[in-house]
Amino acid sequence: MDTKEILQVVDVVSNEKGVSKEVIFEAIEAALAAATRKVSGEHMDVRVAIDRHSGSYETFRRWTVVADDAEEFDPEQQLTLSGAQRDHPGAVLGDVIEEPLPAVPFGRIASQMAKQVIVQKVRDAEREKIVETFTPRIGHMLVGQVKRLDRGNLIVDLGGNVDALLTREDMIARENIRIGDRVCALLADARIEQRGPQLFLTRRAPKLMMELFRREVPEVADGIVEVVGCARDPGVRAKIAVRSYDPRIDPIGACVGMHGTRVQSVSNELAGERVDIVLFDVNPAQFVLNALSPAKVVSITMDEESHTMDVAVAEDQLSIAIGRGGQNVRLASELTGWELNLMTEEQASEKQEAEIGTLRQMFVDKLDLDQSVADILVQEGFTSVEEVAFVPAAELLAIEEFDEDLVQELRSRAQNVLLTQEISREEQFGDVEPAPDLLQVEGMSRRLAYRLAAHGVITREDLADQSVPDLLDIDGFDEALAGQLIMAARAAWFTDGAQA
């Protein structure tokens, strides 16, 4: 292989394959090194350097310097440190020593090997370029033509000599796609594989339906109407949530289209999948009402802490709300992001009564109240002793049946219960108690003082030596409270200094 031929190969392959010349040069260097090893020795470490302008090249044999007592030593590729220093006095461990190697004539076998290496390098470069090009498009819809079947999977031609794989698991169940059919799918992944396509498609992702509506509905493409979310049972049923940023445009009507043409186009593209279009609402309860359509909801009880909703429907509406195999409520739950518990009005009433009874008994037991007073607290929405202890007194006084003395007594009992619980919890840290001067710090409560003592902050001086971050790990402290108490503890420093 002469210098002119090398330059010609680089130009031709680079232009035909769309691969950078540097990649081709590196491929030829690797090929020449492989051919050299074939002729001179399979285990040699060989490096070939091609001049990018003239096409001339040099061949070097390489050795790596290792310790004299190295457990594994390969004389074909390694030199001991003492041996290397005889010819190269400055050599140290890890150095690579190179010596020129005369070029050897390449026979037919060596030339064929060089060609194979070049072809493989070019193929790898092409695959890397495909992955690099399509990685930013992950999550976007692609359209291609089915090229062939491969053990039930589809090889899809995306154009430009680029293939993608649509596996049986990522296809819609029971859909009939044949060779030559045009197919829309979402790009799920792009990664380098040794063989076969490195682009992976899916037709089951909810975002595919959102992309199809973007294609079919001009208002969605223009950003006037937004498809907020989608939940799918691929090939069977789906729900999408939409909203409009223009009060003059009905988002549901825009997505349905004249005589249902737009939504029908999306459905036909996804093997006849039925689509329910739901109006999005910032109010979670109203959003759930819309999502459960066509079922009519009687009442909703939200629990934000567990992110669940108890949804009560009439007896004759329960099967509609649940749907076949629980499909309707499952899709509504996925779409809204809330866990939905469907029940009849009677079941909802029984559950509510049970919860009220539990709360009533909790107030009776913990605060030693009459049942009538506990009933009033429950009816007013109180659900814990903490709420009674720390809610502003004005809110309790606003209750018609409560006077000032009763409010004071309720708050006092609730705070005592909490303090007793706190002290009980602190007992696990031993018999450590806060010093009297810590209890006297302005703004300090017994509960906070015991928590500080359990963490080694026992006296006022201990607290004054703390920083705000030191206290943030203690339950009950935030940045503002920690700073307030530390400054209150340090106030004594200034008072003492003034007296001195």
Name the one residue in this structure whose structure tokens are 């999005």. Answer: 280
- Structure-block tokens of residue 39: 């002729």
pTM of the model: 0.63
Q: Over 90: is that where the pLDDT of 434 sits?
A: no
pLDDT reported for residue 174: 84
Strand partners of residue 342: 311
Lowest-confidence segment of 11-25, 140-154, 199-213 by average pLDDT? 11-25
pLDDT tens digit sequence for 49-81: 888 888 788 888 888 888 888 888 888 888 888
Show Cβ contacts of residue 104 under 8 Å, excluding neighbours closer than 6 positions: 36, 39, 40
- pLDDT (average), residues 409-430: 73
pLDDT tens digit sequence for 446-476: 778 888 888 888 899 999 988 888 888 887 7
pLDDT tens digit sequence for 356-374: 888 888 888 888 888 888 8
Confidence of residue 347 (pLDDT cuts 50, 70, 90): confident
Show Cβ contacts of residue 429 under 8 Å, excluding neighbours closer than 6 positions: 454
- pLDDT (average), residues 80-101: 85
- pLDDT (average), residues 223-232: 95
Share of the chain above pLDDT 70, in %: 93
Question: In angstroms, rounded to a whole number, what is the distance separating the alpha carbons of residues 179 and 162?
Answer: 16
* Domains delineated in the chain: 3-123 (3.30.1480.10), 138-204 (2.40.50.140), 281-361 (3.30.300.20), 430-499 (1.10.150.20)
